[in-house]
Amino acid sequence: MGVAADDLIEWADYAFEREGWHVSLWDAVADLTAVQASWAPAPRPPGWEKGADWQPVHQVTDDAWRETLQRLQDAHAQVTVALARHGDEDLKTARGLIAHDSYHCGQICYLQALQSIPVKVW
C-alpha cells in the first residue's frame, strides 16, 4: 500500500467516524431513532425515492434501524479493506467516495435541523 492509499484510508475514517471540525457521518446517524431517520419533509420533491442508491424504508423499527447502522459500518470497513489492496494509481474513485459521504452527511444534518434535532459538533 502506498502513501496515497494510506492518506485516503485516513481521510475516509476521518469523514466516517472521527471527531474533528466537521460532523462525522457516524456521529450524524448513530443516535437517531428509526422514526427520526425515516422522516422526510413534506411536500416531497419529485423523484424523492427514485435515486439510484435509494433504499426504500419497509419497516420503521428500532431493529431495522440498528441493522441499517450495522450495514453502514460494514460498508465502511469493506471500503477501507478495498483501499488497502489498491495501488496509488487506482485510488481516484476513493476521493469521490469520501466527498459523496460528506455530502450526504450534510444532508442528514440538514434534515435533523428541520426536525429540531441537535447535531453533535466538535
Cβ contact 108:28 at 8 Å? yes
For the stretch 33-71, pLDDT in tens is 999 998 888 776 666 555 545 566 677 899 989 998 999
- Domain locations in the chain as residue ranges: 3-38+58-114
For the stretch 70-120, pLDDT in tens is 999 999 999 888 888 876 666 777 888 888 888 889 999 999 999 999 877
Nearest to 81 by CA among 66, 94, 95, 68: 94
pTM of the model: 0.76
Mean pLDDT of the chain: 82
